Amino acid sequence: MTTSSRARSFGAAAAAYAEHRPGYPADAVDWALAPVAGGPLRLLDLAAGTGKLTEGLLTRGAVTAVEPDPAMLAQLRARFPGVDALEGSAEAIPLPDASFDAVLVGQAWHWFDTDRAFAEVARVLRPGGVLAVLWNGDDAHVDWVRGMYEAGRWKSTVIRRPDEEPSLPTHPAFTPDGFAQFANPIPTTVDGLIATLRTHSWALTTDPAEREVIFDRIRAYLAARPETASGEFDHPLVTDVVRAVRREEAPSPGA
C-alpha cells in the first residue's frame, strides 16, 4: 500500500468521515491564528476534507477551502454552503499570490509533497502570514488508549508518544514559530470509537477480512476495560499545532 493510495483513500468513506471524525478545539485555533490576530482574516483551510477544521474557522474570517477529493468536497459543500470550496491540492493551490493571512492544515500535512506544498503555501500567504499545521492524536498517557493499540495490533500513526514533539521541516520561506498542545476529549461509545477508527486511512486500505479481525480485537478489549465497557466515555485526543510564519522577504526562486 503506497502513501499516495492512502492519501486518496478518504473519499470512499466521506459521509462516515463527516459523521464520525473529530473537530479541533477553539483554543488550538486561537493559538494557530495568534500571529495574525486583530482584524478580519482571510483563511485558507488546505486539504479541508469534509470541513472538520473549516467549521472552527467560520467565526474568525472569510474561509476558503481547498480539497482534492470530490466526495470529501461534496460533504464540505453540503455542510458549509457559504464557504468558497475549491478542488485543488497542496502542490497546486488554485488561488492567487499573497491572498491569505493564514493557511491551516488539519490532519493532512503528512500526505503532502512537502517541498512543493511549502512553495505553494508561501506563494498564497502574504508576508508575515501564518502556516498552522494541526493533528488530532490519541493521548498515549492514558492507560486504556495504550492498551487498545496493543490489543488491536494495527499499524497507525495517530497515537502520540508522550515524549514526541512534532515539527515541520525547515524551509527558506518560513520561520518556525513554535508548537503547542490542546486537550480535545471527544465523548463517544465503543461503537462510535470503532466507527471513527474505520475512517482512518489504515482501515480504509487494509484487506477487509484482516481489518475485521483487528476491530474484533479492539471491541473485545474495550468491552473488558472498566473505563470503556459501557455507555459513554471520553476518547482522549490531543491536538498538536505547529506554526511557521511566512518571511517578509521571498526566497529567490529555487531556494
The residue among 89 and 228 lying less far from ligand SAM, judged by its C-beta, is 89
Cα distance between residue 36 and residue 128, in whole Å: 8
**Distance in Å, CB of 41 to ligand SAM, minimum:** 18
The residue among 54 and 228 lying less far from ligand SAM, judged by its C-beta, is 54
Phi, psi values for residue 104, rounded to 5°: -115, 145
The residue among 88 and 221 lying less far from ligand SAM, judged by its C-beta, is 88
Q: Is 137 in the site for ligand SAM (CB under 6 A)?
A: no
Helix (H) or strand (E) holding 242: strand 233-246
Q: Is 90 in the site for ligand SAM (CB under 6 A)?
A: yes
Rounded (to 5) percent helix, strand, coil in the chain: 35, 30, 35
DSSP assignment of 47-95, as one string? T-TTTTTHHHHTTTEEEEEEES-HHHHHHHHHH-TTSEEEE-BTTB--S
Q: Which of 20, 52, 60, 171 binds ligand SAM (CB under 6 A)?
A: 52
Cα distance between residue 165 and residue 159, in whole Å: 13
The residue among 67 and 139 lying less far from ligand SAM, judged by its C-beta, is 67
**Distance in Å, CB of 225 to ligand SAM, minimum:** 26
**Distance in Å, CB of 241 to ligand SAM, minimum:** 12
Residues 6+ apart with CB under 8 A from 82: 58
One character per residue 7-36, x = contact with ligand SAM (rule: CB under 6 A): x--x----------x---------------
Cα distance between residue 93 and residue 87, in whole Å: 9
**Distance in Å, CB of 226 to ligand SAM, minimum:** 31
Cα distance between residue 91 and residue 115, in whole Å: 9
Choices 36-44, 68-76, 148-156, 202-210; region in contact with ligand SAM by CB under 6 A:
68-76
The residue among 48 and 173 lying less far from ligand SAM, judged by its C-beta, is 48
Q: For residue 100, how far is the Cα from the chain centroid?
A: 19
How many Cβ atoms from other residues are within 10 Å of residue 216's Cβ?
11
Q: Which of 107, 188, 196, 239 binds ligand SAM (CB under 6 A)?
A: 107
Q: Which of 28, 41, 44, 108 binds ligand SAM (CB under 6 A)?
A: 108
Residues that bind ligand SAM (CB under 6 A): 7, 10, 21, 47-49, 52-53, 67-69, 72, 89-91, 106-108, 111-112
